[in-house]
């Protein structure tokens, strides 16, 4: 890691639950800044999610909004986001009730579903990729 990367990581403020405070921005750069600032084991989860999304969805659009990475098929039309919490990383599918199988965590938003990834969890990359593919084929959510 270069000195500038190290300084950037230490300069990033962590909000409640260890969620990095990253300025809003479009494109891969802000998303990579967010992932680089994810604390501890959560960084590897972020790297894995970002890789799975990029490998599964051609020409995926990326942005950081509200201190979390968003992924979509076109600008301002998003199918998923993730963010850090104290004990897990929460993956949000904006049209999650349309996925098969439906991700396990309910939301206060009727169509959204969440998937929580804890440190001790083994990631089922095939299931995650299936959800990502399905989510990317649905109409995006405007944010």
So what's the pLDDT on residue 11?
63
Structural domain boundaries in the chain: 17-136
So what's the pLDDT on residue 76?
82
CA distances from 133 to 27, 52, 80, 109 (A): 20, 10, 11, 21
Please say whether the beta carbons of 143 and 78 come within 8 A.
Answer: yes
- Looking at domain 17-136, its CATH class is alpha beta
Residue listed under structure tokens 């998003």:
78
Q: What is the pLDDT of residues 45-96, one digit of tens each?
A: 999 999 999 999 999 999 999 999 999 998 889 999 999 999 999 999 999 9
* Position 9 confidence tier, pLDDT thresholds 50, 70, 90: very low
Q: What is the pLDDT of residues 97-137, one digit of tens each?
A: 999 999 999 999 999 999 999 999 999 999 999 999 999 99
Picking from 23, 18, 27, the residue whose alpha carbon sits closest to that of residue 8 is 23
So what's the pLDDT on residue 106?
95
Torsion from C-alpha of 68, 54, 139, 142, nearest 10 degrees: 30
* Alpha carbons 52 and 106: distance in angstroms, whole number: 23
Hey, how many other C-beta atoms are within 10 angstroms of the C-beta on 18?
A: 17
Residue 40 makes CB contacts below 8 A (sequence gap 6+) with 18
Q: What is the mean pLDDT of residues 26-39?
A: 97
So what's the pLDDT on residue 3?
40
């Amino acid at each position: 890691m270069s000195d500038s990367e190290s300084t950037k990581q230490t300069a990033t403020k962590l909000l409640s639950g260890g969620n990095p405070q990253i300025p809003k921005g479009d494109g891969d750069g802000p998303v990579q800044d967010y992932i680089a600032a994810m604390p501890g084991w959560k960084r590897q989860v972020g790297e894995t999610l970002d890789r799975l999304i990029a490998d599964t969805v051609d020409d995926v659009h990326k942005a950081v909004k509200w201190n979390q990475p968003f992924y979509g098929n076109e600008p301002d039309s998003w199918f998923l986001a993730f963010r850090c919490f104290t004990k897990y990383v929460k993956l949000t599918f904006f049209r999650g009730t349309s996925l098969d199988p439906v991700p396990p965590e309910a939301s206060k938003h009727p169509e959204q579903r969440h998937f929580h990834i804890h440190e001790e969890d083994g990631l089922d990359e095939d299931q995650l990729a299936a959800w990502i593919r399905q989510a990317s084929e649905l109409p995006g959510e405007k944010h």
